[in-house]
């Protein structure tokens, strides 16, 4: 692909789509940068260059053999060795590869990991529990695509005693941002002055559990993810991680 000269470091130009090659977001996912969805956001935000020219069109195609692709100035190599980790995220870490505010990210917990991996899905700053990190874009796409409904299990402590009617509302689905959430499984684990619940979600709206209970008048006090699809690990301590076996990855790919 022939490069265009940029007027300045801030110049944003588009790369015309070529008939051959692969889509840029697929190349980024294969290179272990991010999931396809997150790669699309990187392109749209002007952080991706092809042969020195900022690419902002999602239809852009590249030739992995000849084109030079960079994200934030760092070159992206063609497909790397697939690797996937399971981390028990503690509170006080951002589920992101980079934070503009300089807060600690989950990648800082992966001591000794040399591969470039990215988190799949999110756990907010105050939440903890299981989180998958990988450079396998296809796996990330499967786990996060709404059509696959991969179940995620949470143990949640909310303020006050939650009445049966409120739990039934969650089972039916609540309106968030004008759209009804998918029905969720919820069961009461214990209750004294506050209530512990176990919740199974089949989608990943941002801060979904916190927003649901805020709306019901029972703010979340603690939130911990304890399972993702077939994955659960009671031995992994907060801040610890382990590499997933080939069998675990295979079963994750088959989870629906």
**How far is it, in rounded angstroms, from Cα 224 to Cα 31?**
30
**How many Cα neighbours within 13 Å face the side chain of 176?**
22
Q: What's CA 145's distance to the chain center, in Å? A: 11
Neighbour count for residue 129 (Cβ, 10 Å): 23
**How far is it, in rounded angstroms, from Cα 33 to Cα 27?**
9
Sheet of strand 69-71, all strands in order from the earlier edge strand to the far edge: 53-54, 48-50, 69-71, 74-75
Token readout for 67 is: 């084109």
Is residue 84 within 8 A of residue 136, CB to CB? The reply is yes
124 labelled catalytic: yes
Which of 63, 67, 99, 124 is an active site residue?
124
**How many Cα neighbours within 13 Å face the side chain of 150?**
20
β-strand partners of 134: 84, 118
> β-strands 128-134, 220-228: how paired?
parallel
DSSP string for residues in 156-220 = EEESSPPPHHHHHHHHH--EETTEEPPP-EEEEEEESSSEEEEEEESS--TTHHHHHHHHTT--E
Catalytic positions: 124
């Amino acid at each position: 692909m022939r490069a265009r000269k940029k007027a300045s470091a801030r110049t944003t130009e588009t790369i015309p789509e070529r008939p051959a090659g692969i889509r840029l977001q697929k190349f980024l996912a294969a290179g272990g940068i991010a999931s396809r969805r997150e790669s699309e956001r990187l392109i749209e935000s002007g952080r991706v260059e092809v042969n020195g020219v900022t690419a902002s069109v999602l239809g852009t195609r590249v030739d992995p053999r000849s084109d030079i692709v960079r994200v934030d100035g760092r070159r992206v190599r063609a497909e790397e060795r697939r690797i996937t980790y399971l981390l028990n995220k503690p509170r006080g870490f951002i589920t992101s590869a980079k934070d503009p505010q300089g807060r600690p990210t989950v990648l800082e917990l992966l001591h000794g990991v040399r591969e470039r991996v990215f988190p799949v899905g999110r756990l907010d700053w105050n939440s903890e529990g299981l989180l998958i990190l990988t450079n396998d874009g296809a796996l990330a796409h499967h786990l996060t695509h709404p059509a696959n409904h991969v179940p995620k299990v949470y143990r949640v402590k909310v303020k006050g005693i939650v009445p049966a009617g409120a739990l039934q509302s969650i089972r039916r689905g609540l309106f968030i941002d004008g759209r009804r959430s998918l029905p969720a499984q919820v069961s009461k684990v214990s209750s004294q002055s506050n209530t512990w619940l176990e919740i199974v979600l089949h989608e990943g709206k941002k801060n979904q559990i916190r927003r649901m209970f805020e709306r019901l008048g029972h703010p979340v006090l603690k939130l911990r993810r304890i399972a993702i699809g077939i994955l659960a690990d009671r031995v992994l301590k907060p801040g610890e991680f382990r590499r997933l076996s080939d069998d675990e990855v295979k079963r994750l790919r088959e989870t629906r």
